[in-house]
Structure 1
Amino acid sequence: MSLPRFGLGTFRLTGQAVIDSVSMGLELGYRAIDTAQIYGNEAEIGHAIAHSGVSRDSLYLTTKIWTDHYAPDQLAASLEESLAKLRTDRVDLTLIHWPAPGHAVPLEKTVEALADAKARGLTRAIGISNFNIEQTRRAIGVVGEGELATNQIELSPYLQNHKLVAFLASRGIPVTSYMTLGYGKVLSDPVLARIAQKYEATVAQVALAWAMQLGYAVIPSSTRRENLASNLLAQDLELSHEDMAAIGMLERNGREVNPEGLAPVWDD
């Protein structure tokens, strides 16, 4: 299965909130779900899927390995725990969540362990998240060209990551954009509001359509049914060249996620 261009994010959603979000999303037609070990919601997502009536084979499930499990003798075992929580025998995509600079386990060892988990059938595809150019090169050096299904990175109209995106394109690695709405900050942007009015769309739809039109996959989240349904419509919105260019001018290095001790040196 190729990387879906539109999915449901679950960052910061736990307990009944994530059960409700995933349940509503599946009812509305979402078929790709993104989670992570550190989110603490894999079991709830597994519950929502099991009670949805949607077949597992029609879903694309992504999870991410947390830094505590990067050692070669721990990674696969932690992924098996994730599978048990998600109530499945394999996920479709597994990512290394952060490169974790200074971590005791070398990046190459973690990537190799992830590739081994794929060889064992625990995941159909592997990828990376929050890797800069240098770290992505190192990951490619371990698994070879064409083996990384995505690099999932923060990306929004306010943070466009031009250098990293260009590098990923040159190596044939698809981009997954998270925080595409900039923690909601882009929703009040006057340029986006003007464009949204032109298309009789929401600002969120415009931002998501912009990212997809650039070739990125998006994984917005919401706990409100009307927003989940509205976001889906971004797939049908096509922006003009002029509007895409106007959004391109909104770059301001507006990074929202930059955890100390985890974040690499970004390619500004």
Structure 2
Amino acid sequence: MPAYHYPDTLAEACSILAAADDGMVYGGGTAVQILLKQDVLFASDLVDIGRVPGLTDITRTRSGLRVGPLVTLRQMETSPLVREVAPLAATVYGHVANPRVRNTASVGGNIAHGDYRLDPPTALMVLDASVELTSSRGKRTVAAREFFVDFQKTALEPGEIVTAIEIPHQPGSAGTHFVKLSSLAANDWPCASAAALVVDGSRRRREVRLGLGALSHIPLYVQFEADAGSTADEVVATACAAAEAVIDPIPDVRGGRDHKKRLGLVAVGEAVRASWKEGDDERRTPFWRRRR
């Protein structure tokens, strides 16, 4: 069994991790508890950061939001501040598993777990979020799009702790949509998921951003531009072609590779079509009545 530690400060937590042979941070604990029960957790030390002050806060910044790693997924789903500044994030966090899990799982633990089927990274990538990492060596920031580096492996280095997620303001004129398709149950891991964001570019161009979950060994990010006068069908066709070039699903009990690929393209099509239309609706709305 690993040794348990309960530091009172972030510096103390970093010091314990630096000295441990194979330390692991304990946040919400949903994933860690499962691994412990399955007897596949080989950490030498578990560092519970629940006593460290300031890690449960959601704060407004000049650029958007700063979210502490111990904020629960349920808080992200229901927070008026998150719904105001980054409504797509609130929507996607609200699709994770079920209320029981969302009331326990933490934002930092969720992303640090690094599972390729996670829902939140799809939104964090299209919103251009970043992850703050802290260790006894100092702090650094990694873009959410670069945080997932391999199968269940993240950019976290030994001794580092996720200390915040920074989420920029979601553009008021952006169109967004999230689609999650499950094979076994509504609150099960997705068979495919897609978050889409469409935002104004330059010279009558619009930028389409896609975050894809469960469709490769890591969450995927796809981006392209389309002419503002394009029809939804044209943009969907471009999006599906771009996604198909990178989708490489892992077959499992939820479906084979071809099945997941087909579902992935359905999710992409639905997400892009809805976000493209929503973006058009926002542009026709007077600026003083747009979402802020």
State the TM bucket, normalised to the shorter chain: under 0.3
TM-score when normalising by structure 2: 0.25
**Structure (1/2) with the larger helix percentage:** 1
Bigger CA radius of gyration: 2
